[in-house]
Structure 1
Amino acid sequence: MNMKKKKLIAGNWKMNGGIAANDALVRAVVAGMGADAGCQVAVCAPAPYLAQVQMLRHGSALELGAQDVSRHEQGAYTGEVSAAMLKEFGVRFAIVGHSERRQYHGESDALVADKAKAALAHGITPIVCVGETLAEREAGQTEAVVKRQLAAVIHANGHCISEIAVAYEPVWAIGTGRTATPGQAQQVHAVLRAQLQAATAHSDRVAILYGGSMNAANAASLLAQPDIDGGLIGGASLKAADFLQIIAAARAATA
């Protein structure tokens, strides 16, 4: 019996989409996936479209994800969306600490850890993003940066840490067309795996995704690495054909 862990492919639409475009995209992905994609597949849609995507994915293996979640349960936090609200719409995953949130919204390691905790409290798997800038990589700080970012989440979530997913997204490779080589990516994934193994006896449950411009052309070589358990896909998740090619690569890597 094949006991290999299923890969996880999560599309991050970022601030893109529209009612008609979403309809066409999700229908094409669901049809292309078939009844069994051979891996876990999710799309993380902008909050206004979660209800639409929930309806479109109905009865399929496609999971629903959110792009952010509030650290707060409820209250006077205008513009925020709580984990309880997301749960009502069937959300299975929530991205926390994406580099764009850290960079443009000043999100700290502590805030990201709190957001992960809020998601876990409602049975939502946080996809915790970690990654270094080009300056940090060139200064030889890659390992220290990603370990610091993940350590905050481990510290705040204790025994629940085996229920998270992690996405390594080298900031210098997001939306730039530059990609870490499979070897570079694997090296960082191995560091994160060791850190998780030290934190929990169930580290094998944690999917570590690569999130730096994975696309149809490079997915197979990245997914072949021993510690790369899937991908957090940006631009390629907006094109059904490309996204389906990445899903196919994940299926082949799992088989």
Structure 2
Amino acid sequence: MTQHQKDAALAVALMDLTSLNTSDTTKSIQALVDSINPTLGTPAAVCIYSDFVDDAKIALAARELNHVKVATVTNFPTGDAPLSDVINETLIAIERGADEIDLVIPYKKLIAGDAQTVLSYVSESKKACGSRAQLKVIIESGELKTDALITQATELAIEGGADFVKTSTGKVAVNATLESTKIMLTAIKNSNKRVGFKAAGGVKTVADASDYLALARAIMGDDYLQANTFRFGASSLLSDVYTILKSN
């Protein structure tokens, strides 16, 4: 197996197979689950809107893919909802069976200098998740722009109890980049806490994924590259992975 094929196999195991489109339907979520080919590898999770958590759970169970987690998003994509609404969203999603909550921080508040509000969104969401769901915190790194803000957002997410810190919603002009990934992974490493990282938006090919895997390996070590600490949020990456693995 070539390094490219090894990276492809690893990428699928670390993938949150994602569909967050306003046009999503029960049928399209079924198609998303149907696109998984277990003989070539299964993703760590599917990431969908909360309304479709039940549908995803049923579709995965029907294919005996119960080990694939179901993730959903809160305060998405703008980060502007009141905290009470976000907590409500979180509790409803968990009742529907969500295993993971991907929370968008109120990043515009952070840009305006209000770190406390960001911290409260993370810590209150973590409280709502309890032991029933993991909390992945989206900092929207492409909108934060500066190294200092990206570092601060990552540190606030960790302080608030995030299980993962995630780059992006995939809904803004600049999503995951290697530059922001390096800043975020360095902040995670410096925290001395076991916190995961998720690159989302713009990771479309195994060649893209390989760059992120190499960077994470260099900063965090080989052990970090497992589904409980490293994820890709992607929609089109799966087909490229499968094309490469089929050629093995």
TM-score normalised by L of structure 2: 0.66
- Show the counterpart of 1:42: 45
Is the partner of 2:47 in helix, strand or coil? Answer: strand
**Post-superposition shift, 1:56?**
0.3
Deviations, residues 191-238 of structure 1 (Å, cap 9, x unaligned): 2222331xx3xx2xx3212124111251222223214733122xxx1x
Deviations, residues 64-93 of structure 1 (Å, cap 9, x unaligned): 011117965xxxx5994243x333333111
Residue of structure 1 aligned with 2:38, choices 33, 37, 42: 33
Contact 1:209–1:230 (Cα < 8 Å) also in 2? yes
- The answer as to 2:132 corresponding to 1:114 is no
- Show the counterpart of 1:8: 14
Contact 1:185–1:210 (Cα < 8 Å) also in 2? no
| Alpha-carbon distance in structure 2 between the residues aligned to 1:18 and 1:128 | 25
Deviations, residues 11-65 of structure 1 (Å, cap 9, x unaligned): 3422431122221221122xx134953xx52122112111111100112032101
- Show the counterpart of 1:166: 165
| Alpha-carbon distance in structure 1 between the residues aligned to 2:69 and 2:243 | 16
Amino acid at match of 2:164: A
| Alpha-carbon distance in structure 2 between the residues aligned to 1:168 and 1:177 | 10
Amino acid at match of 1:94: I
State how 1:127-206 maps to structure 2 within 5 Å: 127-133=136-142, 137=145, 141-142=146-147, 144-157=148-161, 164-169=163-168, 176=173, 180=177, 182=178, 184-197=179-192, 200=193, 203=194, 206=195
Taking structure 1 as reference, are residues 45 and 114 closer, same or farther at Cα in structure 2, changes over 3 Å only?
Answer: same
- Show the counterpart of 2:202: 213
Is the partner of 1:67 in helix, strand or coil? Answer: strand
Is the partner of 1:90 in helix, strand or coil? Answer: coil
| Alpha-carbon distance in structure 2 between the residues aligned to 1:247 and 1:156 | 37
Residue of structure 1 aligned with 2:69, choices 63, 66, 72: 63
Taking structure 1 as reference, are residues 244 and 196 closer, same or farther at Cα in structure 2, changes over 3 Å only?
Answer: farther
Contact 2:90–2:129 (Cα < 8 Å) also in 1? no
Is the partner of 2:203 in helix, strand or coil? Answer: coil
- Show the counterpart of 1:245: 240
**Post-superposition shift, 1:118?**
2.9
TM-score normalised by L of structure 1: 0.64
Q: What percentage of residue pairs aligned between the two structures are identical? A: 11
| Alpha-carbon distance in structure 2 between the residues aligned to 1:18 and 1:81 | 19
| Alpha-carbon distance in structure 2 between the residues aligned to 1:62 and 1:121 | 20
| Alpha-carbon distance in structure 1 between the residues aligned to 2:83 and 2:44 | 25
| Alpha-carbon distance in structure 2 between the residues aligned to 1:245 and 1:86 | 30
Q: Which runs of 5+ in 1 are unaligned?
A: none
- The answer as to 2:21 corresponding to 1:22 is no
Question: Aligned pairs, how many?
Answer: 208
Contact 1:44–1:66 (Cα < 8 Å) also in 2? yes
Deviations, residues 88-134 of structure 1 (Å, cap 9, x unaligned): 33311110126xx6459x99413431344134414211111224346
Taking structure 1 as reference, are residues 36 and 215 closer, same or farther at Cα in structure 2, changes over 3 Å only?
Answer: closer
| Alpha-carbon distance in structure 2 between the residues aligned to 1:88 and 1:178 | 30
Deviations, residues 125-157 of structure 1 (Å, cap 9, x unaligned): 1111224346x53xxx31x21232233333333
Q: Which runs of 5+ in 2 are unaligned?
A: 1-9, 76-81
RMSD (Å), alpha carbons:
3.8
Amino acid at match of 1:195: N
Contact 1:165–1:208 (Cα < 8 Å) also in 2? yes
- Show the counterpart of 1:125: 134
